[in-house]
Structure 1
């Protein structure tokens, strides 16, 4: 704006008609863009690029980079902006942020990915094609990764594959089922356990035939039954998610539970039912679940 004021003063001679800079003058174009920014505000595309520039600047403060990440995450909530990430060829840069040494920045990077791909087939496609699913699964599969980052990675992988068959196929190819099952077997973080079980149930509802076959091969039912025995009595939310996932699996399977699975479920189910009753499942759902025992 200082340059605009200077230009106005220099051309304010009352004895002659002011002559603007030539049309092809770079200074004129710059002043013009400054005026547009002041009047209309910067476009979302410009704001996305500026946020990424700040995030990429390792000499900037951590606080400024986190603020830039917050701005970027809010911008990509809009479907058009999320699609523009691919149009501007910015996915490779954003995915590179997943390897930042700072935990808070990795967390923000995962969050941005998850938000951008939510309910957005175009963004899901671009994310998968740029290797995003593999990178997020690597974070999930790293036992040394911060628990908060891994938890947010479940949000990101869920957004990347829900209602997007090519993403689900890539998820399977990259060992996604095994990675999620390993989390159920090794983690004692209830928040992560709830999210993983809920994701399995979501995938069952999305593609019952394929997912049911895959999780039966991996032995998911037994692992969920074990978790129900360990945590079900103390965590209503986890118990609810496990019961609903087991019921969904049984509704879509041509196989019954194994003898070991049925015996274990018979042992722990009465107490779970007594404690939660219809808070967890309706009467008809309890009857359907018990009919498989």
Structure 2
């Protein structure tokens, strides 16, 4: 602040009078501007990601950088800048790297889920990396941390909701079977290294993953709302007819065959332009309903209600009101 005050005094003109030769105006130090106004979000994102991907930095420092990054991408404009600044690739690299700790992967999943929420533009950009198979892999109980698996469901929810192409990739990656296992809390695992191929059943004792999986399935089954037609005023009454009719027609008559249909308005580039240019791309209910029947998801939901897998540290609980409510929805 003292530097700013000194600069203002030195570059001010007292009442328009000139007292001797004046020194040329000096430019304000950019560091001073940053101190006053703060750095742009884009710079903060670059700095945070640089720390996060640097394996020479301490783990706590990297986690703090990822936490700061997640708060920045809560803003939809910053989330859309991820593709412009080529940040999706290093984030996906953190997620798939064998050297990334479980905590690093969990924070990265959190960032991905936040950036994708209600953001079709970000969904399309991230989907170009074909990430669904990597995300689905985190649903397995072989990922020891239940918190990490919950964040994986969070990231999948952000990617799949209102994004039919992502749901298609989800099906191709055997995602429905993985989701079914997450709903039931029963994971069949094949051990081919044994003398005979064996199937071992692993029980998942974490109820939070089951709750979020049920919520995800419910969101995919919700039909896309059709646009409501605007009321169209009736045409002017012919001469001699009573005036003052203020009624409106909700479904106007079809145009004359020779009449050209009105061109739809231009689709301006923004976060939701893909939804406007291709409305069918947001409909996931058909794919989810088909999987509900063909992939055994309906039976999995029934099993989860009738014969719930015990949960808790000692498996002392079996029923969960919140989980049951999400299933009934």
Q: Structure 1 length as normaliser, TM-score?
A: 0.70
Does 1:55 find its partner at 2:52? yes
Instruction: Select 1:194's aligned residue among 211, 216, 219.
Output: 211
Q: Which structure exhibits the higher relative contact order, with contacts defined as CA atoms closer than 8 Å and separated by 6 or more residues?
A: 2
Counterpart in the other structure of 1:10? none
Instruction: Give the aligned partner of residue 165 of structure 2.
Output: 166
Per the TM alignment, residue 204 of structure 1 is displaced from its structure 2 partner at its CA by: 1.1
Q: Does 1:224 align with 2:301?
A: yes
Instruction: Specify the SS of the correspondent of 2:100.
Output: coil
Gapped regions of structure 1 (runs ≥ 5): 5-14, 22-27, 245-293
| Whole-angstrom CA distance in 1 between matches of 2:214 and 2:93 | 29
In the alignment, is the contact (CA less than 8 A) between 1:139 and 1:145 conserved in 2? no
Task: Give the Cα–Cα distance (whole angstroms) in 2 for the partners of residues 35 and 101 of structure 1.
Answer: 37
Q: CA deviation at 1:20?
A: 7.3
Find 2:285's aligned residue among 201, 208, 211.
208
- Looking at structure 2, the residues matched to 148 and 38 of structure 1 have their Cα atoms a distance apart, in angstroms, of 37
The 10-residue stretch of structure 1 (139-148 or 126-135) with the greater mean CA deviation from structure 2: 139-148
2:322 alignment counterpart: 237
Deviation at 1:242, TM superposition (A): 1.9
* TM-superposition CA deviations, 1:18-74 (whole Å, max 9, x none): 4679xxxxxx8xx74323312321000000000001112222222211111111000
TM-score normalised according to structure 2 size = 0.63
Tell me the C-alpha RMSD between the 2 structures: 2.9
Q: Distance in 2 between matches of 1:142 and 1:124?
A: 26
CA contact (8 A) 2:179 2:213 kept: yes
Match among 35, 38, 43 for residue 38 of structure 1: 35
The Cα of 1:240 is off from its aligned counterpart by 1.6
Report 1:1-293 matches (<5 A). 18=23, 32-98=29-95, 99=97, 100-141=99-140, 143-183=142-182, 184=184, 185-186=186-187, 187-206=204-223, 207-231=284-308, 234-244=319-329
Are 1:97 and 1:106, in contact at CA under 8 Å, matched by a contact in 2? yes
Q: Which runs of 5+ in 2 are unaligned?
A: 5-19, 188-203, 224-283, 310-317
Higher strand share goes to which structure?
A: 2
| 1:142 Cα deviation from its structure 2 partner | 6.4
Residue range with higher mean Cα deviation, 62-71 or 182-191: 182-191
Q: Separation in 2 of the partners of 1:138 and 1:220?
A: 18
- How far the C-alpha of 1:145 sits from its partner, in A, is 4.5
The count of residues paired between Structure 1 and Structure 2 equals 230
Bigger radius of gyration, 1 or 2? 2
